[in-house]
């Protein structure tokens, strides 16, 4: 996954995590690479300011985080911490290093049948853990 430098407007600390790089941004907010005092690396998502002011969104976000806390199983990144009451709610999961599927295919070409089967098995295991 391509990492980008923090921008001037990005926070440097969220909760007890120090932020190092941007991992990406989407419709919900920005995802950062961070670490705790012990050096454990996390992927930390901070919600966009406009969504943070939407009570319906906050309720839905709280339900999603609550569900994520209960997930146990392989092929999922464990929820490490969250603050649903912050001005801009956030949550942190284990950081799993590696390229995105998009980047891997762009750089190395189509996956082999065995690689596709392995990705499919991992996705299935993750979905099973979530449901």
pLDDT band at 119 (very low <50, low <70, confident <90, very high): confident
- pTM score, whole prediction: 0.82
pLDDT in tens, 51-92: 999 999 999 999 989 988 888 777 788 999 999 999 999 999
The topology (CATH level 3) of 1-98 is: Phosphorylase Kinase; domain 1 (3.30.200)
**Which residue would you say has higher pLDDT here, 16 or 2?**
16
Answer yes or no: is pLDDT of 22 > 80: yes
Helix (H, G, I), strand (E, B) or coil at 32: strand
- Give the pLDDT confidence score for residue 70 in this predicted structure: 87
DSSP 78-105: PEEEEETTSSS-EEEEE---S--HHHHH
pLDDT in tens, 94-113: 998 888 888 889 999 999 99
Domain borders along the chain are 1-98, 99-131
Token pair in block for residue 6: 């923090």
Of the candidates 80, 61, 59, 67, which has an alpha carbon nearest to the alpha carbon of residue 14? 80
Q: How far apart are CA 24 and CA 64, in angstroms?
A: 20
């Amino acid at each position: 996954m391509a990492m980008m430098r923090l921008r001037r407007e990005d926070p440097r600390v969220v909760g007890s995590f120090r932020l190092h790089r941007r991992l990406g941004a989407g419709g919900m907010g920005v995802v950062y690479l961070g670490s705790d005092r012990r050096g454990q690396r996390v992927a930390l998502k901070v919600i966009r300011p406009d969504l943070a002011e939407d009570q319906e969104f906050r309720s839905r976000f709280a339900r999603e985080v609550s569900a994520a806390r209960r997930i146990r199983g392989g092929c999922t990144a464990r929820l490490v911490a969250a603050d649903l009451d912050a001005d801009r709610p956030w949550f942190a999961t284990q950081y799993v290093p590696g390229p995105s599927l998009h980047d891997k295919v762009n750089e190395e070409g189509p996956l082999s049948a065995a690689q596709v089967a392995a990705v499919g098995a991992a996705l299935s295991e993750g979905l099973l853990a979530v449901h």
